[in-house]
Amino acid sequence: MKNIKWIIGILVVIILVVVLSNGGDKEQSAQQTEGPIKIGFIGPLTGDVASLGENALIAAQLAVDEINANGGINDRTVELIAEDGSCSGKEASSAAQKLISIDKVVGIIGGLCSSESSAFTGILNQSETPGISYCSSAATLSDAGDYFFRTYPSDAYQGVFAANYLRNEKMIDKVAVLYVNDDWGAGLKQSFIDTFKNLGGEVVLEESFEKDERDFRTQLLKAQASGANLIYYLGFDQGAVSAIKQRDELNVDLPMFGADPWDDMTIWNDVASISEGFGYTVPHTTDSQSFTSKMADVGVSEVSVCASQSYDTMNIFAQVIGQVGTNGSDIKDALYDVQYQNGISSQNISFDENGDLVGAEYVVKTIQDGQVVEL
C-alpha cells in the first residue's frame, strides 16, 4: 500500500510539472504575439562619438514613429528601447544582455562602433537574437556568426578605396598612418596599408593611440620628420579635433586625410578654418531631401554618417517581422533573403552569406573655403 501511495504521489508531481510547463509555454507564446514588438538599439550616447550615436538613435526612432503611424507591424506597435554602448565593448555587452534577458527584444539595431558590435555578437548567436549594425565596419565582423548583419559596408572596401584614391589620384608616395587602437582602427589601417604598398606607396610611420588620447604632438612631429607627404588619421571626433589643432599649433605642414567618422559636423564646426584641403572617405548614400527634412523636423539640423543606415535598419526589421513574425530564427533566415528597396542609405539592400552588405560605394569629401564639399 505504501508503495502504491508513493507511486501515486510521483505521478501527481509529474502531472503538475507538465501542466505548469504547458501554462508557461502559453504565457510565453502570448508575450510573443501580444503587446508592442520590442526592438533594441545600441550606440554611443555618451563619450567621444555621442553625436553620431544620438543622430542614429533619432533616425531609428523616426522610422519607428512612421511605422506606428501607419498601423505598426501586423497591427502591433513597435517600441524602441535604447541603451548606451559608449563605444565600449564592456558597456555594449551589458546593454545587449539587458535588452535580450530583461526587455525581451526580438532584435537589436547596433552597435555603432565595431568594438561595441564585436562584444555582443556571441550573445546574439547564443540567444538566437538577430542584430543588424548600422555603422560597424571592422572586417573581422564578417565572421561574427549567423545572427549578425550590417547595413554598413566592411572596411575591407574603405581601406582599398582610400589607398587607391591617395596613390593614384592624389599621387601620394609616402604616408604616415596614425590609428586608434581598436577593432575598427586596426582593421582599416591594415586594409589601407596592404593596398597602398601593393600600389607602390611607402608607409613611413605607423603608430597607434588610445581612444581617449588627446595629445598627438609627439606623433605629429614624428610624421613631419618621417618624409611623409600626408598623414592618414584614423580616429573619432574629439581626438580628430585635438590632432588638427595641434598640427596647426606646431606648424606641421602635412595635409591630413581621414575616414568615415570625420563625416561629423561637430569636427568641422570647430576646425574647418584650419583644415583647408583636408579630405576623408565615407560611404555613398542616396540620402534624399525628404529624409533630411524629416530629421530637421525632429530637431536634427545636420545628418551625420550612419543615421540613414539606422533608419533603413529599423525599416528592414519591420519588413521582415511583418513577413515571418517575431521568432528570432525565422527573422534571421528571412534576413539572408531580404531585398529592401528604395532605401535612404542604399537604393537596394541585401546581405551576403556572412551577413555583410552586398556592394559598397565610397565618395571623398574635402574642406573647401571652410565648407565640407563632396568631390
Asked whether the beta carbons of 236 and 218 are under 8 A apart, the reply is no
Q: Per the domain annotation, does 344 fall within a domain?
A: yes
Same domain, 140 and 85: yes
Average pLDDT over all residues of the chain: 90
Of 12 and 279, which is predicted with more confidence? Answer: 279
Cα angle: 128, vertex 132, 135; to 5 degrees: 145
Q: Which pLDDT value is given to residue 142?
A: 95
The CATH number given to whatever domain includes residue 127 is: 3.40.50.2300
3: confidence class by pLDDT, cuts 50, 70, 90: very low
| Residue 75 belongs to domain spanning | 34-154+286-360
d(C-alpha 153, C-alpha 157), whole Å: 7
Same domain, 162 and 113: no
Same domain, 146 and 231: no
Q: Which pLDDT value is given to residue 2?
A: 37
In this predicted model, what pLDDT tens digit does every residue of 17-29 receive, in sequence order?
A: 333 334 433 333 3
Q: Which pLDDT value is given to residue 33?
A: 65
Q: Per the domain annotation, does 4 fall within a domain?
A: no
d(C-alpha 361, C-alpha 342), whole Å: 16
Q: Which pLDDT value is given to residue 302?
A: 86
Same domain, 198 and 102: no
d(C-alpha 271, C-alpha 103), whole Å: 41
Same domain, 54 and 110: yes
Q: Per the domain annotation, does 8 fall within a domain?
A: no
Q: Which pLDDT value is given to residue 290?
A: 84
Q: Per the domain annotation, does 2 fall within a domain?
A: no
d(C-alpha 242, C-alpha 231), whole Å: 14
In this predicted model, what pLDDT tens digit does every residue of 126-162 receive, in sequence order?
A: 999 999 999 999 999 999 999 999 999 998 899 999 9
Q: Which pLDDT value is given to residue 34?
A: 77
Cα angle: 120, vertex 143, 157; to 5 degrees: 110
Instruction: Look up residue 76 and give its DSSP letter.
Output: B
For the entire predicted model, the pTM comes to 0.84
Same domain, 322 and 278: no
Same domain, 111 and 212: no
pLDDT at 206 over 80: yes
Q: Which pLDDT value is given to residue 297?
A: 95
Same domain, 51 and 140: yes
Cα angle: 32, vertex 338, 44; to 5 degrees: 70
Q: Which pLDDT value is given to residue 196?
A: 98
Mean predicted confidence (pLDDT) in 218-234: 98
In this predicted model, what pLDDT tens digit does every residue of 311-335 receive, in sequence order?
A: 999 999 999 999 999 999 999 999 9
Q: Which pLDDT value is given to residue 18?
A: 36
Q: Which pLDDT value is given to residue 4?
A: 43
Q: How far is CA 215 from CA 193, 204, 247, in A?
A: 24, 21, 11
Same domain, 244 and 177: yes
Total of domains in the chain: 2
Same domain, 245 and 368: yes
Q: Per the domain annotation, does 28 fall within a domain?
A: no
Same domain, 50 and 139: yes
Q: Which pLDDT value is given to residue 131?
A: 98
Q: C-alpha dihedral over 304, 83, 114, 269, to 10 degrees?
A: 30
Q: Which pLDDT value is given to residue 113?
A: 95
Q: What's the first-to-final CA gap in the chain, in angstroms? A: 92
Q: Per the domain annotation, does 12 fall within a domain?
A: no
Q: Per the domain annotation, does 3 fall within a domain?
A: no
Q: Per the domain annotation, does 6 fall within a domain?
A: no
How much helix, strand and coil, in percent to the nearest 5, is found in the chain? 50, 20, 30
What are 300's three cell numbers? 536634427
Same domain, 141 and 160: no
Mean predicted confidence (pLDDT) in 197-210: 97
Burial 188-214 (b: 16+ CB within 10 A, else e): bbbbbbebbeeeebebbbeebbebebe
